[in-house]
Structure 1
């Protein structure tokens, strides 16, 4: 069976992003570069490093297979140069397997793990505005995705579990290997519980993750894209920044934006040559200019948060304005037309990269950087609630009903056509509920 078909049948999606179905990404005939994102974009996160240490041989083996399938001229693993242990393990695997895979060492800056930054760093090519890496002959995949592909190819194993790290105000910060559909409450319990009573949880990284209340822990579950849980006090700076209403944010822009253009000068997408100028967007919004061509630049925003959490001296929120505008444009079917012009990176780019340590300090996360756990704790469950939509595209259609007995790894939801990915049972048991999720009990 073709490797792409195995990827499809295993329900593999991007493990480190929004969950783009992986079989579609690799359904191409030929590329110049196959790049692996091992740079762990967000501060604090640990899973890419863990997998590169523990699964180095598996990663290199499956990269060779994928590289042959898409006729990649070059294969690179891009990771931060400070990842010494991970580099040692990968280089050993490359030597042992006589592989053509190369290691590309990046600086310690944010957002080094943004796929368009990786494309530029390794190849010198800028992805066109509203484009994808394939437009410049590149495919980028994540470390976790590669491990899932290896398991699908070698053992016919579908995606039924996920590695994630637990940080912040917990008694024992750790790495978990959890069944898909496990409640986040169980994950926090596995870390010894919280050290404080009044807290909120960041699901994902501190810069781009979403914030939930502790009351949501019993409802929310681990999915194919869950990468981390960070417990923070309910009055933490990041909670406050993300709790503002759109109306309040726009009023702040009207009263406080000084048009210093720091948000633009430090914007990673602007620095690689794309026409994204947050200061112009803020001017249009605050001055009620409503220049649609400038406002549409918001569609290029990767939502990294540098503009509002590091660059802006007035502590206003260009990112949140962009998020709001993107929602409005998408509701109205407005898209940014893919650029055909030649893009050139800003000459000052190298001097405007945001140091990760300074960023961590700025957002009040320095307290949580001490993470010594190197092995994963395997979590088991007697009940899971597996969402039928864990990915970009249409939700999977359930293939089981209440009362059905399912086996571990059994296909329980499928997307036969279009954009989407199948889902599988992460435990053996009886189906007790089918709705937006399939609930299984042992």
Structure 2
């Protein structure tokens, strides 16, 4: 069985972001393979842990992938402040006599954005609406490489390493089965320190916010790498609770067209025609300028415009997301730029320091928290979504009442499909089959 077939069978997808099916991404040739170890979101520690604790697996997987895609260079991009991770990776590279190189980045946000990382490493700007392959590069993150290593050894994706931090008694790296509920993860980190809290799924800049009542219904997926507990009245929570109508009305009354949202936009700075201030102007004055509004389609939703740049506290990113959804409903797509994309010269002076960003979003108290673990958390019950990735959902291949074992395929796609296989993450009995597959263990207790 070749590498692509093993990756497909194991259900490997991008371990962060939208979850691009890896067997499709790697079915190509590229000059450079870049592994993203920059941990894009502030405060999260998952990729750092993987590079520190599983450096040899990551390097071995990179060699296999590099050979498959015929890459001339294999590079791990990580921040130069990651001293321990750099040490472990260098040791692994030396021990394995590997051609993998390290590229050290400054501590800025969003260094881990795929297109920003490609520019930092290669000085090549990916065209707006394009992908890294357009400039001869394939990018995967550290978690994906770990899963590829497991796939090479015939192990499917059944678990996830997750950072759980903030208002928990024991900030930790936890290893959990796919489909475990968020409340069980919180229990595994000693429980919440406060009674009234909200949860950020992912990172503070781009993550999804849920309230305390929803933690039993939300589950760990193949792409979720962080859980952050914050007070219910936290600045970030309040901002993201605002309805779109209110956000648009505020833009109409308060946008001063200072253009700071554009001046600090990472995608604008690498040469993309994305001008959030023009979009805000079009929305504020009800201008029907489709070409300007369509620029929202190339927004990476990093949140700098609304959580850092705007002096009026407005929400260009949220408006961009709303416009993107409307365009997609009408099947409007952004046409990739054919002209050469060139970064702005001023870009080097407009990188956002992570320490200042964390202060701006009022998360300073969580900097430097001791992160415990990793701790294994088993589950009596999992709810596994059949759609954990962009593209086609998997189709169930089991029925209610079936006994399944960890690693068994429960949802399948065909090799040519833009999707990924789904596997059971525990041994147990199938209780429900729908958009999610619910499996309950026959064990009597949860083992921590």
How far the C-alpha of 1:394 sits from its partner, in A, is: 1.4
Aligned to 1:118: 117
Aligned to 1:179: 177
Aligned to 1:76: 75
Distance in 1 between residues matched to 2:433 and 2:372, nearest whole Å:
37
Distance in 2 between residues matched to 1:380 and 1:422, nearest whole Å:
22
How far the C-alpha of 1:373 sits from its partner, in A, is: 2.4
Q: How does 1:237-386 map to 2 (within 5 A)?
A: 237-373=235-371, 375-386=373-384
Residues 14 and 22 of structure 1 are in contact (CA less than 8 Å); yes or no, is this contact kept in structure 2?
yes
How far the C-alpha of 1:16 sits from its partner, in A, is: 1.5
1:27 correspondence with 2:27: yes
Aligned to 1:157: 155
Aligned to 2:130: 131
Residues 265 and 305 of structure 2 are in contact (CA less than 8 Å); yes or no, is this contact kept in structure 1?
yes
Distance in 2 between residues matched to 1:246 and 1:120, nearest whole Å:
33
Task: Kindly tell me the number of residue pairs found equivalent between the two proteins.
Answer: 440
SS of 2:387's partner is coil
Residues 38 and 142 of structure 1 are in contact (CA less than 8 Å); yes or no, is this contact kept in structure 2?
yes
Residues 56 and 89 of structure 1 are in contact (CA less than 8 Å); yes or no, is this contact kept in structure 2?
yes
Distance in 2 between residues matched to 1:356 and 1:66, nearest whole Å:
31
How far the C-alpha of 1:209 sits from its partner, in A, is: 0.1
Aligned to 2:41: 42
Distance in 1 between residues matched to 2:123 and 2:234, nearest whole Å:
39
Residues 36 and 142 of structure 1 are in contact (CA less than 8 Å); yes or no, is this contact kept in structure 2?
yes
User: Which stretch has the larger CA shift, 200-209 or 427-436?
Assistant: 427-436
1:231-270 deviations in Å (ceiling 9; x for gaps): 1111100001101111111111111111111100000000
Distance in 2 between residues matched to 1:412 and 1:59, nearest whole Å:
27
Task: Give 5+ residue unaligned stretches, structure 1.
Answer: none
Residues 170 and 372 of structure 2 are in contact (CA less than 8 Å); yes or no, is this contact kept in structure 1?
no
Q: How does 1:385-424 map to 2 (within 5 A)?
A: 385-416=383-414, 417-424=416-423
Distance in 2 between residues matched to 1:251 and 1:384, nearest whole Å:
42
Distance in 1 between residues matched to 2:268 and 2:120, nearest whole Å:
15
Aligned to 1:169: 167
How far the C-alpha of 1:374 sits from its partner, in A, is: 5.2
Residues 171 and 372 of structure 2 are in contact (CA less than 8 Å); yes or no, is this contact kept in structure 1?
no
Distance in 2 between residues matched to 1:353 and 1:58, nearest whole Å:
32
Q: How does 1:191-270 map to 2 (within 5 A)?
A: 191-270=189-268
1:5 correspondence with 2:5: yes
Distance in 2 between residues matched to 1:374 and 1:112, nearest whole Å:
25
1:54-98 deviations in Å (ceiling 9; x for gaps): 000111111011100000011100001100000000001111111
How far the C-alpha of 1:144 sits from its partner, in A, is: 0.3
Residues 36 and 112 of structure 2 are in contact (CA less than 8 Å); yes or no, is this contact kept in structure 1?
yes
SS of 1:375's partner is strand
SS of 1:348's partner is helix
Distance in 2 between residues matched to 1:253 and 1:172, nearest whole Å:
40
Aligned to 2:66: 67
Task: Give 5+ residue unaligned stretches, structure 2.
Answer: 442-448
Question: When the two structures are superposed, what TM-score results if normalisation uses the length of structure 2?
Answer: 0.97
Residues 381 and 439 of structure 2 are in contact (CA less than 8 Å); yes or no, is this contact kept in structure 1?
yes
1:359-399 deviations in Å (ceiling 9; x for gaps): 00000111112232253100011211111111111111111
1:147 correspondence with 2:146: yes
Distance in 2 between residues matched to 1:11 and 1:322, nearest whole Å:
32
Residues 50 and 374 of structure 1 are in contact (CA less than 8 Å); yes or no, is this contact kept in structure 2?
no
Residues 110 and 355 of structure 1 are in contact (CA less than 8 Å); yes or no, is this contact kept in structure 2?
yes
SS of 1:75's partner is strand
Distance in 1 between residues matched to 2:255 and 2:406, nearest whole Å:
55
SS of 2:362's partner is coil
Aligned to 2:427: 428
Distance in 1 between residues matched to 2:50 and 2:369, nearest whole Å:
16
SS of 2:345's partner is coil
Question: When the two structures are superposed, what TM-score results if normalisation uses the length of structure 1?
Answer: 0.98
Distance in 2 between residues matched to 1:256 and 1:62, nearest whole Å:
51
Residues 50 and 375 of structure 1 are in contact (CA less than 8 Å); yes or no, is this contact kept in structure 2?
no
Distance in 2 between residues matched to 1:283 and 1:168, nearest whole Å:
37
